[in-house]
Amino acid sequence: MRRWNGWGDETVSAALPVRAAETLAAWVGPGTAPHDATPEASLTAVPPSRLAAEGRLTLDPWTRLLHARGQSLPDWIALRSGRIGAVPDAVAFPETGGDVAALLAWARERGARLIPYGGGTSVAGHVNPQTSEAPVVTVDLSRLSRLVAFDEASRLATFGAGVKGPDLEAALRAHGFTLGHFPQSFELSTLGGWVATRSSGQQSLGYGRIERLFAGGRVETPSGRLDLPPFPASAAGPDLRELVLGSEGRIGVLTEGTVRVTPVPACEEVHGVFLPDFPSAIAAVRDLAAMRLPLSMLRLSTPEETRTTLLLAGHERLIRALETYLSLRGAREEKCLLLVGITGGENLVRQTRRQTLGALAMRGGVAAGKGFGREWNRNRFRAPYLRNSLWEAGWAVDTLETAAPWSRVPALLASVESALRTGLAGEGEKVHAFTHLSHVYLDGSSLYTTYLFRLAADPGVNLARWRKLKTAASDAISAGGGTISHQHGVGTDHAPWLAAEKGDLGIRALRGLFRTFDPDGLLNPGKLVP
């Protein structure tokens, strides 16, 4: 069963190694286990629904509570403290596109607001109801999850948009295909959510981000149905798929999505290579990007993140042996871990492996052996579970991300980390921040920063600390020429920085778009462009 106030499946946990806990305590101060609210106590914060019972709506308080928040740190603070804030008045579980169209018609008549809800894994406040006079209904799309059509000749598959990652992959693999979209939230996030937030999977270098994989679909909007046929390419004016990508539930509900799929590759390899320092590591990934090799992933950690990753991995003796070996080969204190994914047929993978490891060796790269990559692959969806253990030990963890041209990457990284590290100095608290380049492009890279700080006993203080850090880091991103989001979207948390990126005319254009599809402002108010 899904954890109601944290990440993932209740039966899965990731232990925090003892040495890691000791080191984190030395870095940011010892944590104190917080007193989390019980489900019973949290339920007392759910107000009565403002809607009357009817067939299409679930008014049950527990179901409403489960749909009140996503997975951002403020969401965790709310859920764990029992101070939930606004809760939807009802949850609807449509089973067909027709049900969604009927809900939209009902909402217009009733003056209700609707929030499309995929897996609820948003980390930017996308699915949280706003306080409003109008009743709010969360539209849970989990029953729209069938494989609707599979066109093998064209390598196109059409799914109900509420399909979750594992179910989508299982259905495709039964035909020998994969989508290759593996965000770290894969277990719980959905096709509709990926499209609506412009998501990026860990192997997007090979398979492409969702905007490349999303070939078309069907959107039910308050102004009618928008069908997006899947053309391989088209010069027929602006591409309407772009209106849906990143629309965050503001223009309509994606009920079906058609995606471009690939035959399951014969080989999927991940290699761990350590570079002696960050400048040489950046030069190495830029070389690799420019070589246009068939790689599926390049993920480069800074020295700080490399240290933290090795610490959190546990397996103390193995890691010590690895560090001794790396040190003998020249990768010491400033070493950076680079994960390289290679995907394809056996010959292609063999040739690519030789070229890649050869190019990295020229930059002083030391390969850590296949076991390292296999271990990463096995644990690739484990990191979010560690967030549960860290919280229970008294530390809050949050992540933020951006992307920028190569010429800006080093300065941007330094200013974001510095904003975080010094953000709580005024209250005498330390922040541990570390970064990796998660997605590498020819012209630039994304930066993905994780930060950790001590939880206070008062949830209000924790929220204020988060706000201070988020604001400082987002200001640094905006001033440093980065986008306010490379993959998590805008929601409410990034909205204050959107105008600086899009400009006044851009924001007006977006408002005009929302008005065209949703003239009465029924859908997900307050998100993306408030």
Ligand X SMILES: Cc1cc2nc3c(=O)[nH]c(=O)nc-3n(C[C@H](O)[C@H](O)[C@H](O)COP(=O)(O)OP(=O)(O)OC[C@H]3O[C@@H](n4cnc5c(N)ncnc54)[C@H](O)[C@@H]3O)c2cc1C
Residues at the site binding ligand X, with contacts judged by CB under 6 A: 7, 70-71, 115-123, 126-127, 141, 161, 183-185, 189-190, 192-194, 196-197, 199-200, 248-249, 253-254, 384, 487-489, 524, 527
Least distance in Å: CB of 105 to ligand X? 17
Least distance in Å: CB of 243 to ligand X? 12
d(CA 218, CA 160): 10
3-state secondary structure (DSSP) of residue 32: coil
User: Measured in Å, how far apart are the chain's first and last C-alpha atoms?
Assistant: 34
Between 167 and 277, CB nearer to ligand X: 167
Q: Provide the token pair at 17.
A: 């190694």
Q: Is 198 left (phi over 0), alpha (psi -120 to 50) or beta?
A: left
Q: Which residues contact 492 (CB under 8 A, 6 or more apart)?
A: 124, 125, 126, 128, 526, 527, 530
Between 223 and 280, CB nearer to ligand X: 223
Least distance in Å: CB of 49 to ligand X? 20
Q: Where are the beta strands (DSSP E) in 222-303?
A: 224-228, 253-260, 262-263, 267-275, 295-301
Between 449 and 487, CB nearer to ligand X: 487
Between 74 and 183, CB nearer to ligand X: 183
Least distance in Å: CB of 364 to ligand X? 29
Least distance in Å: CB of 354 to ligand X? 29
Closest of 475, 477, 453, 450 to residue 464, by C-alpha: 453
Between 284 and 386, CB nearer to ligand X: 386
Between 160 and 265, CB nearer to ligand X: 160
Instruction: Break the chain down into helix, strand, coil percent, rounded to 5.
Output: 40, 20, 40
Residue reference for tokens 């047929």: 345
Least distance in Å: CB of 189 to ligand X? 4
Least distance in Å: CB of 432 to ligand X? 18
Between 352 and 474, CB nearer to ligand X: 474
C-alpha neighbours within 13 Å on the C-beta side of residue 169: 13
Q: Which residues contact 175 (CB under 8 A, 6 or more apart)?
A: 150, 152, 157
Residue pair 38/32 in contact by the 8 Å Cβ criterion:
no
Least distance in Å: CB of 355 to ligand X? 27
Residue pair 511/529 in contact by the 8 Å Cβ criterion:
yes
Residue pair 140/161 in contact by the 8 Å Cβ criterion:
no
Angle 416-366-18 from CA coordinates, rounded to 5° = 60
Report the amino acid identity of residue 374. R
d(CA 378, CA 372): 10
Least distance in Å: CB of 388 to ligand X? 10
3-state secondary structure (DSSP) of residue 303: helix
Residue pair 136/89 in contact by the 8 Å Cβ criterion:
yes
Residue reference for tokens 């008294």: 394
Between 58 and 352, CB nearer to ligand X: 58
Between 365 and 384, CB nearer to ligand X: 384
Least distance in Å: CB of 283 to ligand X? 26
d(CA 142, CA 165): 12
Least distance in Å: CB of 327 to ligand X? 32
Give the residues across from 499 on adjacent strands. none
Between 274 and 385, CB nearer to ligand X: 385
Query: Between 303-312 and 18-28, two packed helices, what is the crossing angle to 10 degrees?
Result: 140
Residue pair 274/366 in contact by the 8 Å Cβ criterion:
yes
Between 248 and 269, CB nearer to ligand X: 248
Between 276 and 525, CB nearer to ligand X: 525
Residue pair 123/450 in contact by the 8 Å Cβ criterion:
no
Least distance in Å: CB of 461 to ligand X? 23
